[in-house]
Amino acid sequence: MKARSYSPIVPNLPVIASKTDPSSSRRVVLLGASNLTRGISTVVETSQRALGQPLEFLVAMGHGRSYGVESCVFGKKISGIFSCGLWPALAAPSRCTTSALITDIGNDILYGMPVQQIVTWVEACVNRLRDADAEIILTQLPLDRARRITPWQFRIMRSLLYPRNRQTLDHVVGQTRELAEQLCELAEKQQITLIPVNYAWFGFDPIHIRRRFWSIAWCEILAHWPSAAPIGQPASGSLVRWLYLSSLTPERRRVWGIKQRTRQPAGRLFDGSTIALY
């Protein structure tokens, strides 16, 4: 992508990343799937309000993203979070203070992965974040919403997002309940904050936070970072920033069988924050 610039008199407009390191002393690691992908602009703004500016963002996300295996959604094939290129980047020498979010853990249930395997992947991510001296927060599964999914809602969701899945609704809800219990045990064992999700954030779609609640939901979640300052007013949102962040591509992926590689960080925001996607 060719470099382009925006007028400095317009606030919050993004610019393409430079090859130099940011001046930030704060690093933010974001691990997740669809909710993180859909709300990434709100998450970035909320992080800036909580931790200051500029920030260095290391992000592993994507629709249908698995924590352990390669996934393919809408023709885009990408590695599991556990095996992506974020971890070597995180392990590079740095004096940055690191804050991390682990979210969107339930996809692997619908890929047919055993609960214990999912927990093993998540705990391995926690351990790697511990090695980087990160403060870690973890979101719980939307169990209350999962219990209220009707059979026809489940069939629509399964056919659209997980067409190869042949599990029954009862089995998926049971696996979700077991995984939620295991996450509680993991959070207690690792002494990290496990954040419940609010049933009211979800609507007809049982797995995605409604857009109208993005600012409130991410404000409540990210306020749990121990070093976060009072966020105050939730993120106001920016269509320009959302479009820009949605246009960035990760370090490696396949799109309809074609390999893509992108030098990271892929983007730079007006305040100097950088965005690296893996």
* Domain limits for position 248: 26-139+208-277
Q: How far is CA 154 from CA 50, 151, 198, 201, in A?
A: 36, 5, 20, 18
Residue 100 makes CB contacts below 8 A (sequence gap 6+) with 28, 29, 30, 31, 129, 134, 135, 136, 137
Residue 132 within any structural domain of the chain: yes
**3-state DSSP assignment of residue 207:** coil
> Is position 13 within any domain?
no
Alpha-carbon gap, residue 223 to 50, rounded angstroms:
7
Q: Is residue 42 part of a domain?
A: yes
Task: Examine residue 93 and state whether it is found in any structural domain, yes or no.
Answer: yes
Does 178 map to a domain? Answer: no
Number of domains in the chain: 1
Look at the alpha carbons of 82, 96, 132, 47 in this order and tell me if their dihedral is positive or negative: negative
The helix/strand/coil state of 52 is coil
Ordered per-residue pLDDT tens for the chain, 278 residues: 333 332 222 233 333 333 334 455 899 999 999 999 999 999 999 999 999 999 999 999 999 999 999 998 888 899 999 999 999 999 988 888 999 999 999 989 988 899 999 999 999 999 999 999 999 999 999 888 877 777 777 777 776 667 677 778 888 889 999 999 999 999 999 999 999 999 899 988 888 999 999 999 999 999 999 999 999 888 988 999 999 999 999 999 999 999 999 999 999 999 999 999 99
Helices and strands in the chain: count of H runs, count of E runs = 10, 11
pLDDT attached to residue 7? 27
- Using DSSP, state whether 139 is helix, strand or coil: strand
Any domain includes 235: yes
- Tell me how far apart the alpha carbons of residues 220 and 244 are, in angstroms, rounded to a whole number: 25
pTM for the whole thing? 0.87
Is there a contact between 149 and 113 (Cβ–Cβ < 8 Å)?
no
C-alpha–C-alpha distance, residues 110 and 106, integer Å: 7
Q: Is position 166 within any domain?
A: no
Q: Is residue 100 part of a domain?
A: yes
CATH classification at residue 260:
3.40.50
